[in-house]
Amino acid sequence: MNVLAFLQASALAQLLRALPAPHRVTNVSDWLAVVTLTRHRHFDAAVVDPTFGADHSLSPRIQAITEAAHTTPIIAYLAVTATAIKAAQSIARLVPPGVSNVVVRGVDDAPASFARTIQRVVACSAASAIVSCAGDPFGALPPALARAVEAAFHRPERVRSVSALASEARTTRRSLDRWLARTGLAPARTLLACARANAAFHLLAAGHMRTSRAAAMVGYTSSRALAHELHSLTGHAPSAIPERLTRAEFDRAIGRQLWRSSPAASTPVASY
């Protein structure tokens, strides 16, 4: 992953323990550089401490978070201090939310846990971008069903089957299929396959995980099942990530799968 940081030395050291090479961490000492760099360069995420070096009001920095969050998922990394609590309260009032996650120093920033949090935030950000590719059809879904589809992309290991998706949406499988067909979205099995593949892609793209481990975390029965489904959706094997199957190419492939131009046009995907 390529991560932008705005942190004091000790916090940066902990982030580097969580994301050793080949991850790339770029630390900046100027708060405005966070906004500037996220506008002009690609970062998978930004880990920032809004209180670092703040002598006056936090308002300009909180506003900058909302601007940077348009292009980059933001993780606030805070110590337990009065100023940090004030910053967290300000962040919580942001509408729309400008911060994807808050990590507290000395509480939930152990290297493995910190790395998992960043990976999840990156995957969820990509999931939201992919879901938005469905455009108007997604917006035409009943609110409960729209939330269920989004939940499947954000936590595919919890929504593994069509029945689970229907339950999450508080509807029947038949009604689920009818709504998806009516709005032009892919069948439920394909949506779930896209959700699993998205989560697996981002775990593998981080470069530190075996295919078998990523498959198990996402909800596949085996690495072979993951490889088969990824190839069905994108035409690539897991070994193509991320050099030949880049994130942009993956997102485009998955975005195409979310549309159902006709019943015959949807890609058949095996159930795992």
Predicted local distance difference test score (pLDDT) of residue 192: 92
Dihedrals φ, ψ of 50, to 5°?
-60, -20
Predicted local distance difference test score (pLDDT) of residue 78: 83
Are residues 28 and 72 located together in one domain of the fold?
yes
- Comparing 96-110, 132-146, 163-177, 198-212, the range with the smallest average pLDDT is 132-146
Are residues 89 and 138 located together in one domain of the fold?
no
Q: Rounded distance, CA 201 to CA 245, Å? A: 9
Residue 155 is part of a domain; what is its CATH number? 1.10.10.60
Q: Name which of 107, 268, 257 is nearest 195 in CA terms.
A: 257
Are residues 13 and 102 located together in one domain of the fold?
yes
Predicted local distance difference test score (pLDDT) of residue 236: 94
Are residues 101 and 148 located together in one domain of the fold?
no
CB contact at 8 A, 238 and 226:
yes
Distances (CA, A) of 159 to 11, 167, 266: 35, 9, 21
In this predicted structure, the answer to whether residue 272 has a pLDDT above a threshold of 50 is no
Question: DSSP secondary structure string, 195-207?
Answer: HHHHHHHHHHHTT
Amino acid at 113: S
Structural domain count of the chain? 2
Which of 93, 109, 125 is at the close of a domain?
Answer: 109
In this predicted structure, the answer to whether residue 250 has a pLDDT above a threshold of 60 is yes
Within-domain flag for 270: no
- 145 vs 41, which has greater pLDDT? 145
Q: Rounded distance, CA 164 to CA 136, Å? A: 24
Q: Give me the mean pLDDT over the 218-244 stretch.
A: 91
Are residues 139 and 74 located together in one domain of the fold?
no
Within-domain flag for 124: no
Predicted local distance difference test score (pLDDT) of residue 270: 40
Are residues 163 and 225 located together in one domain of the fold?
yes
How are strands ordered across the β-sheet holding 2-6? Answer: 24-27, 2-6, 45-48, 74-78, 101-104
Predicted local distance difference test score (pLDDT) of residue 55: 58
In this predicted structure, the answer to whether residue 1 has a pLDDT above a threshold of 90 is no
- Tell me the pLDDT band of 262, cut-offs 50, 70 and 90: very low
Are residues 101 and 141 located together in one domain of the fold?
no
Tell me the pLDDT tens digit for each residue of 167-217: 988 999 999 988 888 888 889 999 899 989 988 887 787 666 789 988 988
Mean pLDDT of the chain: 78
Q: Name which of 101, 110, 265 is nearest 190 in CA terms.
A: 265
Within-domain flag for 97: yes
In this predicted structure, the answer to whether residue 269 has a pLDDT above a threshold of 60 is no
In this predicted structure, the answer to whether residue 164 has a pLDDT above a threshold of 70 is yes
Q: Give me the mean pLDDT over the 128-140 stretch.
A: 57
Predicted local distance difference test score (pLDDT) of residue 66: 62
Tell me the pLDDT tens digit for each residue of 33-86: 777 787 777 777 889 887 787 655 566 666 666 666 566 788 888 887 766 666
- Calculate ∠ Cα 24-25-27, nearest 5°: 150
Q: What is the CA radius of gyration of the chain?
A: 20
- What does the block give as tokens for 35? 């906004």
CB contact at 8 A, 61 and 54:
yes
Q: Give me the mean pLDDT over the 147-158 stretch.
A: 80
pLDDT > 70: percent of the chain: 74
Predicted local distance difference test score (pLDDT) of residue 16: 94
Residue 71 is part of a domain; what is its CATH number? 3.40.50.2300
In this predicted structure, the answer to whether residue 18 has a pLDDT above a threshold of 50 is yes
Domain that holds residue 21: 2-109
Tell me the pLDDT tens digit for each residue of 52-61: 876 555 666 6
